[in-house]
Amino acid sequence: MAILRFLRNQLIDIVEWNQASESDVMAWRFPRNDNEIKNRAKLIVREGQMAVFVNMGKLADMFGPGMYTLSTENLPILSALMGWKYGFESPFKCEVYFIATRRFLDLKWGTANPIIMRDREFGMVRVRAYGSYAMQITDSAAFLRQVLATDPSFQTYEIAGQLRNLIVSRLSNAMAASNIPVLDLAANLTRLSDIGRDAVARDMAEMGISLPIFLVENISLPENVEKALDKRTSMGMIGDMGQYMRYQAAESMEVAAANPGGGAAGVGVGLGAGMAMAQQFVTAMGQPGAAPPPAPGMPPPVPTAAAWFAAIGGQSQGPLDEATLRAYAGTGGLTRETLVWRQGMAGWVAAGSVGELAGIFGAVPPPLPPPL
């Protein structure tokens, strides 16, 4: 009796895979331990699985979800390989692989090195990208032949590195060929996701794997390029540079008025530098003050007010119009003794001696008399 019980224990009567605690296992070989499978044994294949029989290295029968009685009727390929013409009664040896056909979710990919792209606006640009994907075994036979081989327990990490390199390589070429401007990449993540999935579809299909979900989650530029873009955006938000600089000058005047201890000379130097900068920005941005020459056949532009230069804070400031000089006079940066000059004058003279400028000092009181 003990011998019969021993012999019965050497025969396998149920073949199944309970993968509840093995969420990252893509394929698993049933541990036969050199035992034989009993005639008319039960095969249980759960949802999300595929059972593949391999006999002496050759792929035999495959089973989807369900419960089967292993016999000649439902093992036609194995029966042919084993020479079972009229059924069989004795146990047999055969390797059984269970393939997980469910989706493996939230797998990550990313560029280890920046992708170099040629952009129409910025030229050569380096970008980085990362995202996630889900993979699924859709062809168990191809997966067993091309990937699994004889591995008794195949896990996602064993192929994740290869897939990540494949994704980055194909996506890099696809992004470069898409001709999407760098500034528009963030607005086209869905399109890039579709491009990336299609780019690797053929290579994945050869391994029996598909990517039902593929996401490009972020594309970033080098830090110095992002700073340059931020500056460019800020300049665009300013709008009229001339108006902006006049606003800045007015703000400086208010600060100077609230802080009289700073001294008139210092205020003059600051205002002079600010207005000189304003003139440079206005000229560079094509604002009035750098008007283009008239077109042939057209009358010349209306003459503008005289442009003055003033010795403020020990430095020559200008060209300045009368309104700017009046603003300097209002804050004490320009006095009657301040030297001024404009085109046509022989040399520098005191502002108070110029009749054209007499009006800007009308509201400025004379210096206090010395104490008695």
- Give the rounded percent of residues in the chain with a pLDDT score beyond 70: 73
All domains in the chain, ordered by first residue:
2-100 (no CATH), 103-226 (3.30.479.30), 239-289+305-361 (no CATH)
**Mean pLDDT value across residues 248-272:** 60
pLDDT category, 289, cuts 50, 70, 90? very low
Determine which of 120-124, 163-167, 213-217 has the lowest per-residue pLDDT on average. 120-124
Min mean pLDDT across 16-30, 100-114, 241-255 is at 241-255
62-111 per-position pLDDT tens digit? 999 999 998 877 788 888 877 776 666 678 888 999 999 999 999 999 98
**Which of 112-126, 191-205, 227-241 has the highest average model confidence (pLDDT)?**
191-205
The predicted structure's pLDDT at residue 141 = 94
Alpha helices in the chain (DSSP H): 2-9, 76-82, 140-143, 157-178, 189-206, 223-238, 241-258, 264-284, 322-331
Distance from C-alpha of 42 to C-alpha of 337, rounded to nearest angstrom: 112
Q: Is 322 exposed, middle or buried (0-12, 13-18, 19+ CB in 10 A)?
A: middle
Which position has the higher pLDDT, 265 or 353?
353
What whole-number distance in Å separates Cα of residue 225 and Cα of residue 113?
A: 16
> Residue 56 pLDDT > 90, yes or no?
no
Does the model's pTM come out above 0.85? Answer: no
Average model confidence (pLDDT) for the chain? 79
